[in-house]
Structure formats: C-alpha cells, structure tokens
C-alpha cells in the first residue's frame, strides 16, 4: 500500500479516508473507533518527529506531553 510513497499526514489522511469508505473489507472484525484513534496517533507522532528533527527535543517533548495529558 505504501510502496514508493513517503509517509506523511496527507498519506495518512488518504489511508483513513479509504478505511472510512469501507474499501478495506478484510478489516471487518476490527473496531472502527480504535482504527480512527490509531490514525490520530500516527499523525501526532509524525508531527512530533518533525518537531524533533527541526526544533530539537524540548518542543517535541512538550507537544508529546500536551497530547498525553489530552488523552
């Protein structure tokens, strides 16, 4: 599915939309709410990684800490 594509928020959003449209029938046994949550976590982790690589550990840690407090 990701062959030749970089992982980015755009790709994750496209994958989430594909999931929402029901094109992944083989995942019918999966709780859809959990999968939605996993997409959110992946997007957050992407941004934390970007912060880490561009601004250092402090801003990345602070964002992670805020997200963990939000739940």
- Residue 66: exposed, middle, or buried by beta-carbon count in 10 A (0-12, 13-18, 19+)? exposed
Residue 4 maps to a domain: no
Q: What is the pTM of this model?
A: 0.69
- The yes-or-no verdict on residue 36 having pLDDT over 90 is no
Residue 42 domain-assigned (yes or no): yes
Domains identified in the chain, total number = 1
In a domain, 1, yes or no: no
Please check whether residue 13 lies inside any domain of the structure: yes
In this predicted model, what pLDDT tens digit does every residue of 42-69 receive, in sequence order?
998 899 999 999 999 999 999 989 988 9
Assigned token pair, 52 = 């880490």
Residue-range definition of the domain harbouring residue 43: 9-70
């Amino acid at each position: 599915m990701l062959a030749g594509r970089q992982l980015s928020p755009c790709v994750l959003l496209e994958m989430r939309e594909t999931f929402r449209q029901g094109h992944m029938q083989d995942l019918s046994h999966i709780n859809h709410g959990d999968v939605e949550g996993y997409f959110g976590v992946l997007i957050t982790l992407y941004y934390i990684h970007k912060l880490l690589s561009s601004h250092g550990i402090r801003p990345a840690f602070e964002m992670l800490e805020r997200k963990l407090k939000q739940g």
